[in-house]
Amino acid sequence: MIQNTIPFQPSRFASLRATTPVPVSWETIVNELTGPFHKAQTELYRQTIARLHQAEQDNDNLLLPKLKAEKEQIKQTQPAFIASVSLTGGRTSAHVTGYSGFIMVDIDDIPPGQFTEILVRIKADPHTFLAHTTISGVGIRVFVRMENAATKHDFLLAWKAVNEYYAGLSGIGYDFKCKNPTRMSVICHDPDTLYRPDALCFPLPDEQTGKQTSKVEKRGRKPSVSRAALTVRRLVEQEGIAYEAHSHNDYICRCLYWMNRFGIPEKEATAWALDTFADYDAASVRSTAKSCYALTAEHATQKLRKFEQTVAGGTTRARGCASVEEMERFIDGYMEIRRNRLTQQAEIRLQGSSEWQRMTDTIENSLWRAMQKEGINADLSRLHTLLTSDFVPEYHPLTDYLNTLPPWDGTSDPIGKLAAMVHTTDNSPEKFASYFRRWLVGMLAGALDERTVNHVIFVLIGRQGSYKTSFMQNLLPPCLRRYFTTKTNSQRLGKDDLLTLSEFLLVNFEEIDTMRPTELNQLKAMTTALYIDERLPYGRNKVRLPHVASFCATGNNPLFLTDDTGNRRWLVFEVADIDSPWEHPIDHDAVYAQAKALLDSGFRYWFQGEEIDELNRRNRRFETPNPARELILAFYRKPYGLEKGRYITASQIVARFGNSIRLTTGQVGRIMKELGFENLHTRNGNFWLVAERTTDEITTILPEPQEEEKNGG
């Protein structure tokens, strides 16, 4: 094993997503690169790249997203390190405590056939401190040590000088986007890694060195430690670090860091720290001071006077407001940001984190604070304007999910398997699966196409404890479960319910059987609304949002439909039992891959013609008792065979029963048409051909067989 010979320790991270820096020796990094620890993952990554290239050649648009996701997942889970700066508590520029003097070089896009030649040339150069093949197998990573340690002010000049040198050596241009000093280097497997601890140091350009020297010389007499102490402590406290349990060391470290930057001699700063923090371990204080002052490139790089003038006001900025471009560059290095097309909210992922989270006031204020600490004077109002502009790219959660799915094989029926979990009392398994498949594909269509709305409400009626709600809750895959919401009977539907139509993919109405007729009618009307025109919370203007939500519902009482004009919007099933989704896991990827394939193939998920009539007929058994319909059936029937019958108007029927119930001619007309009575249009009005029932018929408990309604089940 290689022994430690270099004092500076790079910061190692457990993965590209990790945020906790762990100082390790260069020898530890080299042992990881050359050892067997990452051989399997490196080989898997390169195999995935080969498969990806083949899929691109084959124009396999279904496989490409999956392979890209696999490739990214492998890389993101690999450990990595940062060598150009020292870090404390994180991995962004806000956590930098000093510059190490090491510069990283990325050599990519090497022409086929030239890789070995260029690698030999790179390793032979005496300036090359460390060189290895990258995880892709087609790139070279190089580290070089500067003769004079770079600072924040001249790091870019040093980086450019080194990268230009190796660009000339390799014949491959460099990417200026890689200039970030906190850029991470992935640790992979390369048994032929070159490590040269005694490599020749690279000189900093003379003109910049001269400028830097003259600046230091012009600073004149150093400020006293007593003068600097108050400003230093205020600066550290403005960073959110307090001298309290579990943060004593961080507080002392940051104080000494600022003392070093203000040019306070190490001996004086150490004595001040020992006296000020007498309750803390003296050996630890001395060790911390030595570590901070080891960053010689940071010594006397800031003027105390500038910070004395501004720190009382809560800012360390001494120039005008930052430009939009400055703010955008900082944000790009601080976090990833996107706008969710469903929630209309920004979501962020901090550098090094794998988790996306909603933008909150706290996160926005923390971003502003980080900018101030970096000397970027971003007005909070202007920052908010930028974060709510088209600077933030949009994304659709459902589209992103569907793009990662493997293609449907075209023969299996995962939707049918999902439907088979529901055991109904009024339909065959095949019939239920057919209805459910159309509703599910309609749900995708409504969510993906702004011009489409899923007009059908999927309803399960049955006893309590039959897993109705659990089944609905598990219809969305886990990664989209946040876009499922449940509404209970809360009287009239309001503005928030309208916004729900654009924010959620699936809305479940519990206790649908307790809703009033006016609520049911309003709910039915909501299914056809193509857009919602509302002002978002805290928004200044109304916005037009697409209706993306599909509706489902559960209840216990089968008699809940009240609209005598028709119930084609409802897809109601009476449930005997449902297999527990907790004990019978749903293969969501397969279900949604099939649904997307059906949608893309032009599968007709909507109902039309005779299918609508069938829906109305099958929903008859879920209607609440209709007194008008029952009276008409009790006193009238269609004539049999050659029976003559007689013609009457809707008004005559209203007059006959008007004293018993509230009845209109419109209601009578709809009922007569539904019951199949013959209608005759004349200049004297519309007449219905009926046969009046005899007294014996009226007292008959059931209608004759030919009068029974068709069962749509």
- The pLDDT assigned to 194 comes to 93
Average pLDDT score over residue span 535-545: 65
The 10 Å CB-count burial string (b at 16+, else e) for 355-364 is eeeebeeebb
Q: Which residue has 């969510």 as its token pair?
A: 447
For the four alpha carbons of 698, 702, 703 and 704, in that order, the dihedral sign comes to negative
Average pLDDT score over residue span 298-323: 65
Quote the strand ranges of 386-511, DSSP E.
394-395, 422-424, 457-461, 484-487, 506-509
Quote the strand ranges of 295-426, DSSP E.
335-340, 346-350, 357-358, 394-395, 422-424
What is the average pLDDT score of the chain?
82
Average pLDDT score over residue span 189-194: 93
| Choices 3.40.50.2300, 2.60.410.10, 3.40.50.300, 1.10.10.10: CATH for 414-619 | 3.40.50.300
Query: How would you class 389 by CB atoms within 10 Å of its CB: exposed for 0-12, middle for 13-18, buried for 19 or more?
Result: exposed
The three-state secondary structure class of 45 is: helix
Taking 90 as the threshold, does the pLDDT of residue 703 lie above it? Answer: no
Is 442:454 a contact under the CB 8 Å cutoff?
yes
Taking 90 as the threshold, does the pLDDT of residue 667 lie above it? Answer: no
Quote the strand ranges of 315-402, DSSP E.
335-340, 346-350, 357-358, 394-395
Distance CA 68, CA 404 (A): 9
Average pLDDT score over residue span 98-108: 87
Phi, psi of 444, deg, nearest 5:
-65, -45
Distance CA 318, CA 61 (A): 52
- The pLDDT assigned to 460 comes to 92
Distance CA 576, CA 426 (A): 9
From the list 329, 324, 333, the residue with the least C-alpha distance to 385 is 324
The three-point CA angle 536-538-540 to 5° equals 75
The CATH 1.10.10 portion of the chain extends over 625-707
Q: Which residue has 């004349």 as its token pair?
A: 682
Distance CA 508, CA 490 (A): 13
- Report which of residues 378 and 207 the model is more confident about: 378
Taking 80 as the threshold, does the pLDDT of residue 535 lie above it? Answer: no
Taking 50 as the threshold, does the pLDDT of residue 712 lie above it? Answer: no
Is 300:270 a contact under the CB 8 Å cutoff?
no
Taking 80 as the threshold, does the pLDDT of residue 430 lie above it? Answer: yes
Residue 1: how many other CB atoms lie within 10 Å: 7
Question: What pairs with residue 195 in β-bridges?
Answer: 130
Distance CA 594, CA 511 (A): 31
- Report which of residues 122 and 148 the model is more confident about: 122
- The pLDDT assigned to 412 comes to 92
pLDDT confidence tier of residue 496, bands split at 50, 70 and 90: low
- The pLDDT assigned to 458 comes to 93
The three-state secondary structure class of 415 is: helix
- The pLDDT assigned to 591 comes to 95
When mean pLDDT is compared across 399-408, 422-431, 437-446, 654-663, the lowest value belongs to 654-663
Query: What are the pLDDT digits (tens) for 542-588?
Result: 667 888 889 998 988 888 777 666 677 888 899 999 999 888 889 99
pLDDT confidence tier of residue 398, bands split at 50, 70 and 90: very high
Is 552:506 a contact under the CB 8 Å cutoff?
yes
Encoding tokens for residue 525? Answer: 């009307």
When mean pLDDT is compared across 319-333, 389-403, 529-543, 697-711, the lowest value belongs to 697-711
Query: How would you class 441 by CB atoms within 10 Å of its CB: exposed for 0-12, middle for 13-18, buried for 19 or more?
Result: buried
- Report which of residues 515 and 448 the model is more confident about: 448
Taking 90 as the threshold, does the pLDDT of residue 465 lie above it? Answer: no
Most confident of the ranges 63-77, 208-222, 334-348, 519-533? 334-348
- The pLDDT assigned to 2 comes to 42
From the list 591, 564, 580, 548, the residue with the least C-alpha distance to 661 is 564
Is 581:534 a contact under the CB 8 Å cutoff?
no
For the entire predicted model, the pTM comes to: 0.49
- The pLDDT assigned to 426 comes to 80
- The pLDDT assigned to 538 comes to 53
- The pLDDT assigned to 320 comes to 55
- The pLDDT assigned to 184 comes to 87
Average pLDDT score over residue span 168-188: 79
Average pLDDT score over residue span 233-246: 82
- The pLDDT assigned to 369 comes to 87
Query: How would you class 600 by CB atoms within 10 Å of its CB: exposed for 0-12, middle for 13-18, buried for 19 or more?
Result: exposed
From the list 375, 356, 108, 156, the residue with the least C-alpha distance to 261 is 375
- The pLDDT assigned to 176 comes to 62
Distance CA 454, CA 447 (A): 8
Distance CA 88, CA 98 (A): 10
The CATH 3.40.50.300 portion of the chain extends over 414-619
- Find the distance separating the first CA and the last CA of the chain, reported in whole Å: 76
Is 256:289 a contact under the CB 8 Å cutoff?
yes
- Report which of residues 467 and 19 the model is more confident about: 467
Query: What are the pLDDT digits (tens) for 606-648?
Result: 988 888 888 888 887 887 767 777 778 888 888 887 888 888 8
Average pLDDT score over residue span 47-55: 89
Is 626:564 a contact under the CB 8 Å cutoff?
yes
From the list 577, 551, 556, the residue with the least C-alpha distance to 486 is 551
From the list 297, 257, 295, 294, the residue with the least C-alpha distance to 273 is 257
Is 52:29 a contact under the CB 8 Å cutoff?
no
When mean pLDDT is compared across 305-309, 455-459, 463-467, 648-652, the lowest value belongs to 305-309
Distance CA 254, CA 394 (A): 39
Most confident of the ranges 48-62, 251-265, 428-442, 477-491? 428-442
Is 3:25 a contact under the CB 8 Å cutoff?
no
Taking 90 as the threshold, does the pLDDT of residue 441 lie above it? Answer: yes
Q: Which residue has 């005598």 as its token pair?
A: 564
pLDDT confidence tier of residue 709, bands split at 50, 70 and 90: very low
Encoding tokens for residue 518? Answer: 């006016």
Encoding tokens for residue 596? Answer: 């997307």
The three-point CA angle 276-281-285 to 5° equals 60
The 10 Å CB-count burial string (b at 16+, else e) for 102-111 is bbbbbbeebe
CA 561 remoteness from chain centre: 38
List alpha helices for 219-303, DSSP H: 225-238, 248-261, 266-276, 282-293
Query: What's the DSSP call for residue 583?
Result: T
- The pLDDT assigned to 539 comes to 57
| Choices 1.10.8, 3.40.50, 1.10.10, 2.60.40: CATH for 625-707 | 1.10.10
Query: What's the DSSP call for residue 619?
Result: G
